[in-house]
Chain A
Amino acid sequence: MPKLTVKDVEYVAELAHLTLDGATKERLAQELGSILEYMDKLNELDTSQVEPMMHALEMTNIFRCDEVQPSLSRDVALQNAPKTDGEYFLVPKILDTE
């Protein structure tokens, strides 16, 4: 049983919003399959008593004050936009069902 099927790759590519051609899907299924197999190594370890290290440092409660700071001018905000009408970022028509 392969660790990763082409169907798995297709499902994940859809989640990641990537389109892959057939050959790439096959190759990725194989490559990532062997990487995942390698990762199964972790199951050798009993971690039932281990807390996950969710953050690199043990810090809490880092906040900022509720103060308004200057925003960007609209020209600068839009300067990198692939498509704009000078007011909005433009994208292909959004359908409600999407």
Chain B
Amino acid sequence: MDYEAVIGLEVHVELNTNSKMFCGCSTTFHAPPNTCVCPVCLGMPGVLPAINRKAVEYGIAVGLVLNCTISKWSKMDRKNYFYPDLAKNYQISQYDLPLAYGGWLDVEVDGRTKRIGITRAHLEEDTARNTHTLGGGDSGVDFNRSGVPLLEIVTEPDIRSAQEAYAYLTLLKQILSYLGVSDCNMEEGSLRAEANVSVRRVGDPKLGVKTEIKNVASFSGTYKAIEYEIARQISVLSRGESVVQETRGWDPDRGITVSQRSKESAHDYRYFPEPDLVPIAVNDEWVEKIRASLPELPRARKQRFVTQYSLSEYDAGVLTTTRAMAEYFEETVRAGAPPKPAANWIMGDLQALLTESKQEISSCRIAPSDLAEMIILIEKGTISGKIAKDLLPEMFATGSPPDKLIKEKNLVQLSDISELESIAREVIAANPGPAADYRAGKTKALGFLVGQLMKATQGRANPKLANELLIKELNKIS
């Protein structure tokens, strides 16, 4: 019998507002414990929340790009449960009236397009962080993350494989980065995915018992965890046993999911409308204003790159991976570089330098206008492509413009015919054997002589010119 997997994903995104969801504390990640806290996010007696407008607007923006309906009327609710990382022992979240609902996202898997339904996207607040590594048998709680705005995005159970889940997560992350609403930094926990996985016999309309996979630190971890979980559930069912509904964690070292059965079996959250906050009414005017401010998204940008810059689908895809890279490319072109070489330099040498130094293109020290200038100098023949390959790391390290480095290091290409002629004569004189070989019809010897000429000019000779002049000189003497 064949089985199929039914998977739904819940993604929690920390929105990168300046201040928290309900108070003015900074959302910065790198702060010493309990220094970005105030009475509100510590849940002290007497405090009241006040909604950050920016977080609502980010939520609407995400809702729009996920093709959701934006609720004309939504509200905040209290979700009640006790945990040391939850300052008030209730989380302010959205229950029955989320900010956005009923959308979809098309992802590409194996060259096919798969539509994944988005059930809802709602606003809530993040919790504090617990530390278990302190001495003395205690756990420590740091409330710096308490109250950071979160958007929870829930899919329909439309996903059928780990591959589809991975494609969805990667695309979602790409879109969220494009929107600029989140840092999407998984190491810092600003993007967290949970998967609900069940399997059933193919053709069975009824859903199987699901497990919830939590606390996975990366998308590739999620991929592996889902793959493992599908296989595990199929083997449980094949043995004639049944799957237990539970939460499971991912153990990356052993490559397995493990039960995290909680003893508090009843999740009775006692949701009710947050009386300290008034409802959120979103009218068309507000939605349209946000829609108008949305940036061009990866898919559209890729298509435009293909048509506008005559790039291949592949190149356009790579260049639009991140908004920062796409912007970098376009600025380079705007500064005068022809698109194709610009694309090659960015995707090739520049990307290699970035990867090697673990840098993001957004913090790259080479200004796009400087890269453009370098490419123009190559096109004009001022420097050789080979020189440029050495020049780029210099520019990358120093942030200096190419003309300055070229002057400093005397890297201008030698295209002066009389100077090159005399060097060519010297090279021929110094290498009588190969010269004779060439004249004897062994044209292969020319390569050696060109190499010698390049060496003599520290690579600065215009290779095409050098070739021509050597042939001319060799023929002349005969």
Contact = CB atoms under 8 A, between A and B. Distances in A.
Given A54-B75, A64-B52, A77-B34, A97 B260 contact: yes
Given A59-B278, A69-B24, A88-B33, A64 B138 contact: no
B51 A90 contact: no
Interface residues of A, number: 38
B244 to A, nearest CB: 15
A15 interface: yes
Nearest to A90: B138
Contacts, number: 137
B24 A94 contact: no
A16 B380 CA distance: 77
Contacts of A39: none
Interface in A52-76: 54-57, 59-74
B278 A61 contact: yes
A89 B131 CA distance: 10
A98 B39 CA distance: 26
A98 B247 CA distance: 12
B84 A91 contact: yes
B275 A55 contact: yes
A7 interface: no
Interface size on B, as a range, is 35 or more
Contact of B140 (A57, A65, A85, A96): A85
Contact of A66 (B37, B53, B83, B278): B53
Given A64-B53, A68-B19, A77-B42, A55 B278 contact: yes
Contacts of A60: 278-281
B18 to A, nearest CB: 5
B261 A97 contact: yes
B369 to A, nearest CB: 32
Given A55-B279, A93-B132, A96-B260, A74 B141 contact: no
B134 A88 contact: yes
B140 A88 contact: yes
A28 interface: no
Interface string B276-301: 01111100000000000000000000
Interface string B12-46: 00000111000111100000111111110010000
B31 to A, nearest CB: 9
Contacts of B33: 74, 87-88
Given A71-B37, A87-B34, A62 B138 contact: no
A87 B32 contact: yes
Contacts of A72: 37-39, 42
B140 A63 contact: no
Contacts of B138: 83, 90-93
Nearest to B262: A97
Contacts of A94: 84, 130, 132, 139
A41 interface: no
A6 B415 CA distance: 98
Decide if the interface of chain B is mainly helix, strand, loop or mixed.
loop
Contacts of B407: none
B85 to A, nearest CB: 8
Contacts of B331: none
Contacts of B19: 66-69
A73 B84 CA distance: 21
Given A54-B273, A62-B51, A67 B24 contact: yes
A82 to B, nearest CB: 11
A89 B268 contact: no
Nearest to A69: B24
Contact of B139 (A64, A91, A97): A91
A61 B140 contact: no
A70 B39 CA distance: 11
B270 interface: yes
A92 B139 contact: yes
A12 to B, nearest CB: 9
Nearest to B50: A64
Contacts of B17: 66
Contacts of B268: 15
A28 B35 CA distance: 43
Listed from nearest, the 6 A-B pairs whose CB atoms lie closest are: A69-B24, A88-B140, A66-B54, A63-B53, A60-B281, A90-B138
16 contacts: A17-B82, A55-B273, A59-B278, A62-B50, A62-B277, A62-B278, A65-B53, A68-B26, A69-B24, A74-B32, A74-B34, A78-B34, A87-B140, A88-B34, A94-B84, A97-B262
Given A73-B35, A92-B139, A98-B263, 5 more contacts: A63-B51, A65-B53, A68-B26, A69-B38, A89-B84
Interface of A: 11, 15, 17, 54-57, 59-74, 77-78, 83, 85, 87-94, 96-98
Interface of B: 17-19, 23-26, 32-39, 42, 50-56, 75, 80, 82-84, 130-132, 134, 136-143, 249, 260-264, 266, 268, 270, 273, 275, 277-281
